[in-house]
Structure 1
């Protein structure tokens, strides 16, 4: 694939997760890359910074489409490859996901388990959930054995440290001497003119691209933000070994243990682009729920309460859009990763690289990723059915 990129010149607008992954991947393949970002190098305003970065296709299969699950399955081994090639270490774990519930929520848990098993029957690449009794639960996750007598274990699922990854990708860009234009708001359309000399302009701006996606001829796209809230805790008395999810009818939560006794806790998903601080209700519900999982959280220190909006298209599914225009650089827009950014981004990356290399993507067809291509006549067609 390297020869297809060695003489290419690429502009990438947006240096969140997808923008950094693409910039590093293209530079490693010999491309000449420039990266433009309206914010600072620390990605402080990126949706990728406020995330638990769980890689859990089976767990997510309860609430998302089959094609997103396939993207997640594809991405798990790719994450290990990507991280192993970085100069700076990134915490990566693939020890499965633990599902817990309190006695009063047993019926919800039973429905959840049945749903996952049906999904495994449809997708043989998923590992079936394992039902845990009190003894097997104590062996897998002794820290919760006092409060729970049963659970579900989802093998092979994983997680990574999102902030370490963003920093490691930045280090990689520096080592490869990729020109990065920080604190510079850039319109991708302006970069497409011949005088700039780019072969491709790639728009990875997330919600910053609303003006490009929500045009009259793209009314069905409806790019919007979906608010998420997370709390970061330092809890040395809690020793959870893997991401843990609590089934609850009102506030299901996830707890993702990172290095140095740091835990990322979240659950909320609100149809709003409000970026104000976390509400008292959300904080109380999250903290109350996490305490019911492990009493050691009572002495945890709150490091951060953060909010961010995830870029989401109308169908809650990701999409790659390609536009060709005479005497202009080709434009690729990548968006709509929603709440699954870390889970599926390597799959999106691989599809984008195939499209940039050859104009088609067998991987996108296999995974069911929507790719729309606008011809010079401005007539659009779908290259890959979702």
Structure 2
């Protein structure tokens, strides 16, 4: 089949790589001038900015059981995907931590009750005594309470975005950079001319408007260089006002994030976010006081009105959107589901699969 993909963010790259591996002819259209970098001044995909926490249970705070199931499945899929990609992609699956300061333990317990009520199966946070926390993560000081989520993991998002594009290119995918999609429909993509396909995937995120009621939710993150800090797994501080996480990266780096603002402002990181997130992170790892800010950025997460993802399918066209703050967590499982419902021949009746 000849498949057209509108959008070269995380979903677009996963689709291009998977479809081309199955022998399909794939063409991808994206307005970015170069898919191997984040060009200054451009509205590049949210996948570049994310910290890459694969936290199906912790994210139940703002998701549902279906998202958690997608996330647990995606952890297995990521392990297989990373093993087959060209180039290094840092992927770890040794759990994540929930942390709370003593004055915030009441709010933390309420959140833990929510997670326990929503968690599928027996996947519950395990109380971690402080002496065990010290042995596990010697750089963490300050929080008075800790819980371990043993099923969770992380992925280096930038490395994975590059490797997916490189892997798809080696498999013959045609990338049409600098091409905005003006219109699409079943079997049709208009991007500087009309092109016809056997099947089209619309994974444009915010670019899918007005076909989908998607909005942008601003997020801001920091990359810090922290020589000497030992952190083996993502740590999330259960803060009463902010969702604060610290994610280790190779090369003595950590990513600190992330704000969540109902705004489509793409301007640089605000002073408010800088003070709030970095102060909270410093309260978890005091050594961050001597860290150097390597990089900071803001971007927009694509979200639908209920903040839940959706797959919409009709003959010749599949739309996937609304991954919100769960993109890296659930994208492989959503792609797997979407591809399982794409026939090699024939048509599908219109349907809608809501996560």
TM-score by length of 2: 0.91
Pick the aligned partner of 2:336 from 350, 355, 360.
Answer: 350
Change (3 A) 1:290 1:383: closer
Q: How does 1:183-332 map to 2 (within 5 A)?
A: 183-189=178-184, 192=188, 196-213=195-212, 222-324=213-315, 330-332=316-318
Structure 1 unaligned regions, length at least 5: 1-7, 214-221, 325-329, 361-371, 375-381
For the residues of structure 2 that align with 1:317 and 1:359, how far apart are their CA atoms? Answer: 30
The CA deviation at 1:267 is 2.7
- TM-superposed CA distance for 1:89, in Å, is 2.1
Task: Rate the CA distance shift 1:266–1:359 in 2: closer, same or farther, 3 A.
Answer: farther
Aligned in 2, Cα 1:267/1:197: closer, same or farther, shift over 3 Å?
closer
1:52 aligns with 2:51: yes
Stretches of structure 2 lacking an aligned partner (at least 5 in a row): 39-43
Give the aligned partner of residue 366 of structure 1: none
- Could you tell me whether the CA contact under 8 Å between 1:99 and 1:246 is conserved in 2? yes
Alpha-carbon spacing, 1:100–1:184, altered in 2? closer, same or farther (3 Å): same
Give, in angstroms, the shift of residue 193 of structure 1.
Answer: 7.5
The alpha-carbon deviation at position 254 of structure 1 amounts to 0.5
| Superposition CA RMSD, Å | 2.1
Equivalent of residue 161 in structure 1, options 156, 179, 183: 156
Q: Is the 8 A contact 1:37 1:183 kept in 2?
A: yes
Q: Tell me the equivalent position of 1:16.
A: 9
CA change 1:359–1:283 in 2 (3 A) is farther
**Other structure's SS at 2:184 match:** helix
CA distance in 2, matches of 1:62, 1:193: 37
Partner of 1:72: 71
- SS of 1:211's partner is coil
Structure 1 contact 242–256 (Cα < 8 Å) conserved = yes
1:38 corresponding residue in structure 2: 31
User: In 1, distance between residues paired with 2:27 and 2:353?
Assistant: 29
Contact 1:36 1:185 in 2 (8 A): yes
CA shift, 1:58, in A, is 0.8
Residue 87 of structure 1: aligned partner: 86
- With structure 1 as the length reference, what TM-score do the two structures score? 0.84
Q: 2:345 & 2:274 partners in 1: Cα distance?
A: 47
| Distance (whole Å) between structure 2 residues aligned to residue 230 and residue 212 of structure 1 | 30
Partners of 1:182 and 1:53 lie apart in 2 by: 25
Residue 175 of structure 1 corresponds to 170
With over 3 angstroms needed to count, the CA separation of the structure-2 counterparts of 1:359 and 1:245, relative to structure 1, is: farther
Task: Show the counterpart of 1:363.
Answer: none
**Deviations along 1:113-151, whole A, 9 cap, x unmatched?**
23222333xx11x5221111121111221211x423431
Structure 1 residue 383: Cα displacement: 4.5
Mapped to 2, the partners of 1:93 and 1:25 lie a distance apart of 22
In the comparison of the two structures, how many residue pairs are matched?
A: 344
1:181 match: secondary structure: strand
Aligned to 2:41: none
Please state how far the C-alpha of 1:317 moved relative to its aligned partner. Answer: 1.0
Q: Counterparts of 1:259 and 1:230 in 2: how far apart (Å)?
A: 17
Shift of 1:323: 3.3
Q: How much does 1:197 deviate?
A: 4.1
1:250 & 1:186 partners in 2: Cα distance? 38
- In the alignment, is the contact (CA less than 8 A) between 1:13 and 1:188 conserved in 2? no
Superposed CA offset, 1:244-277 (max 9, x none): 0111112230011111111111131111111111
1:252–1:223: structure 2 CA closer, same or farther, 3 Å change rule?
closer
SS in 1 for 2:127: strand
SS of the equivalent of 1:269 reads coil
**Normalized per residue, which structure has more helix?**
1
